[in-house]
Amino acid sequence: MSLLVVGSVAFDAIETPFGKTDKIIGGAATYIGLSASYFTQQLNLVAVVGGDFPQSSIMMLEEHGINTEGLQIKENEKSFFWSGKYHNDMNSRDTLVTELNVLGTFDPLIPESYQDCKYLMLGNLAPKVQSTVIERLKKRPHLIVMDTMNFWMDVALDDLKHTLTLVDVLSINDEEARQLSGEYALTKAAKKILTMGPKFLIIKKGEHGALLFHKDQVFFAPALPLEEVFDPTGAGDTFAGGFIGYIASSQDVSFENMKRALIYGSAQASFCVEKFGVERLVNLSQNEINNRVQEFVQLVQFEMKLK
Amino acid sequence: MSLLVVGSVAFDAIETPFGKTDKIIGGAATYIGLSASYFTQQLNLVAVVGGDFPQSSIMMLEEHGINTEGLQIKENEKSFFWSGKYHNDMNSRDTLVTELNVLGTFDPLIPESYQDCKYLMLGNLAPKVQSTVIERLKKRPHLIVMDTMNFWMDVALDDLKHTLTLVDVLSINDEEARQLSGEYALTKAAKKILTMGPKFLIIKKGEHGALLFHKDQVFFAPALPLEEVFDPTGAGDTFAGGFIGYIASSQDVSFENMKRALIYGSAQASFCVEKFGVERLVNLSQNEINNRVQEFVQLVQFEMKLK
């Protein structure tokens, strides 16, 4: 029941109130893949890097059970690079540098051995690249989840709208949901977006949790109140990785199971922000994940006695 | 098992993106009392109004089972008046007018018949007035809940700190918790505030729900994702009224029961914002409340299968 992850594998340089990093590895597919690797070992990656991307990092991905046969290496080019600086509240950031490099001409080639994939997670990429991946799969996966961002709403809205008609689950943040729908209230935004193609919509609200919408149903997964958010980079991708990883491992795409997947995604995201970059994600134990999920259960569970 | 509510009974004039009102009745104790009245009928009010406060509004409170024996009427003075304008996001507002009037010299006299009160809810008032109420009760209530605001942290911090040592539950919003503690992360803020007196701390996050802290425990009650927030005025007080009203009716001050009380408070607040002022609060049915609480249950409940 393999999971295919497509997205950026890249370099980040991050500055937060707690410190700054040199170029470290990042990228949506890196976070998604590492996060999902704690749930499923049938994990295939499609991405592109330049000759500057360290072999040791590719090995690290493989050690997490991520098949890198579909990772294209353009020896004479440079990897995608993003640099950003977080403000004191950690909820907003300035992008300092974006160098597309190899990502500018990314042609997502699907190895033959990936063709049986049952679950597809499309990390944030040009919507045209995302739809190309779907077209190149001979058999439609059982569940297609996509992430996107406001940038594509600004510069490639028609492509984005087409890709939306091809997927099952859209995962975006609250501001993106407002921009895509033109509605401020998230329930209204969700109603509109659910007419655009996806049958399920996840709206991520950062430290305020995440909402899952499907037909008339809505589920809310809180974020854990944390003592310290060290670096929020990749939290949304890590969330998506936990979500799709849990679904792939449980092979259940019902709304009830997606609730659980949302909690696992939130748990994974709560680890991600504890250290810079992927540092915390590379060394998780199943026990830590289970304990963290139990914290979520205790945070929101109550027994109601109706009057 | 009577509940004593102390706070402002006043006039508000409100402007939101949806419209504006003339002077309508408002005040913390008005919202708290009305909200709590759906849970307990042993409800005593201590407050002060001027001769301008309409007799019909006092009768409306009494029709909701609120005993107004402790409502002082200063015939030749004017009631407290607040006017505010909400911004488009409804999360922030500008205060246009604050006229203290009768509230400036409020001496909270406790009628003899109120002395048996088991639960005390201190709405936002000068901390010195709040502590005077506690001192004037011959027997300490079983549970004392207080609300306050950043204004008192600016102008009467020592009084506030003293009052904090006298109460069991403090209910404030996230910005107030940050200001009172000097900590940005709410879990850190909560730890500090729980050393200042209260054994329980509620941090209200508006549309993002509310947190309840007690020792090492934390519970999160979501806010219902609403299609339209018409007027947020009084939502925090309505929340507090539902919280203390539910506790007074269930006579259970355990953490487990406070979780339920938080959900009832959140449900009441979700009604409050649907119309201007107290309009929605005056005509609720038990059935509507139970249905709304069920929406909260469905919003957050999930069954976790640990891997």
The predicted pLDDT at position B1 comes to 66
Q: Report the alpha-carbon distance of residue B162 to residue B135 in Å, rounded.
A: 12
pLDDT for B83-122, tens place per residue? Answer: 999 987 777 889 999 999 999 999 999 999 999 999 999 9
3-state secondary structure A132-174: HHHHHCCCCCCEEEEECCHHHHHHCHHHHHHHHCCCCEEEEEH
Kindly determine whether residue A187 and residue B301, on different chains, have CB atoms separated by under 8 Å: no
Tokens 């003075």, residue located: B77
Structure pTM? Answer: 0.94
Q: How confident is the model at residue B33 (pLDDT cuts 50, 70, 90)?
A: very high
pLDDT for B306 beyond 90: no
Q: Report the alpha-carbon distance of residue A230 to residue A225 in Å, rounded.
A: 13
Query: Does residue A18 lie in a domain region?
Result: yes
**Average pLDDT score over chain B:** 95
Query: Does residue A305 lie in a domain region?
Result: no
Contacts of A228 in chain B (CB under 8 A): 185
Q: Give the distance from residue B220's alpha carbon to the nearest chain A alpha carbon, in angstroms.
A: 5
pLDDT for B173 beyond 70: yes
Give the number of C-alpha atoms closer than 13 A to the C-alpha of residue B4, restricted to the C-beta side: 32
Residue B49 burial class via C-beta count within 10 angstroms: exposed 0-12, middle 13-18, buried 19 and up: buried
List, for chain A, all residue ranges whose pLDDT scores fall below the cut of 70.
1, 306-307
User: Residue A60 belongs to what domain range?
Assistant: 3-300
Question: Number of residue pairs across A and B with CB atoms under 8 Å?
Answer: 102
pLDDT for A135-159, tens place per residue? Answer: 999 999 999 999 999 999 999 999 9
Kindly determine whether residue B297 and residue A304, on different chains, have CB atoms separated by under 8 Å: yes
Kindly determine whether residue A220 and residue B225, on different chains, have CB atoms separated by under 8 Å: yes
Mutation choice for A interface testing from B302, B303, B306 by most A CBs within 10 A: B302
Query: Does residue B199 lie in a domain region?
Result: yes
| Facing A185 at nearest CB: one of B227, B303, B306 | B227
The residue of chain B nearest to residue A221, with distances taken between CA atoms, is: B300
Task: Give the residue-averaged pLDDT of B182-196.
Answer: 96
Tokens matching residue B120: 């005390």
Query: Does residue A272 lie in a domain region?
Result: yes
Q: How far is CA A212 from the centre of its chain?
A: 15
| Facing B290 at nearest CB: one of A228, A289, A306 | A306
Tokens 């309409």, residue located: B54
Q: Report the alpha-carbon distance of residue B9 to residue B25 in Å, rounded.
A: 8
| Interface check A187 vs B, CB under 8 A | yes
Contacts of B305 in chain A (CB under 8 A): 250, 260
Query: Does residue A306 lie in a domain region?
Result: no
pLDDT for B187 beyond 70: yes
**8 A C-beta contact, residue B170 and residue B233:** no
Q: Report the alpha-carbon distance of residue B90 to residue B280 in Å, rounded.
A: 18
Sign of the alpha-carbon torsion through B83, B74, B147, B33: negative
Question: What CATH number does the domain containing B154 carry?
Answer: 3.40.1190.20
pLDDT for B196 beyond 90: yes
The predicted pLDDT at position B28 comes to 98
The pairing of beta strand A10-16 with beta strand B210-214: unpaired
pLDDT for A40-84, tens place per residue? Answer: 989 999 999 999 999 999 999 999 999 999 999 999 999 999 999
pLDDT for B18 beyond 90: no
Q: Report the alpha-carbon distance of residue A9 to residue A33 in Å, rounded.
A: 10
What lies within 8 Å, CB to CB, of B105 at 6+ separation is none
Task: Give the residue-averaged pLDDT of B262-290.
Answer: 96
Query: Does residue A235 lie in a domain region?
Result: yes
Coil, strand, or helix at residue A240?
helix
Query: Does residue B306 lie in a domain region?
Result: no
Distance set, CA B303 to CA A129, A254, A293, A296, B207 (Å): 37, 13, 12, 12, 25
Mutation choice for A interface testing from B219, B220, B289 by most A CBs within 10 A: B220
Query: Does residue B80 lie in a domain region?
Result: no
The predicted pLDDT at position B219 comes to 97
Kindly determine whether residue A220 and residue B222, on different chains, have CB atoms separated by under 8 Å: yes
- Number of domains composing chain A: 1
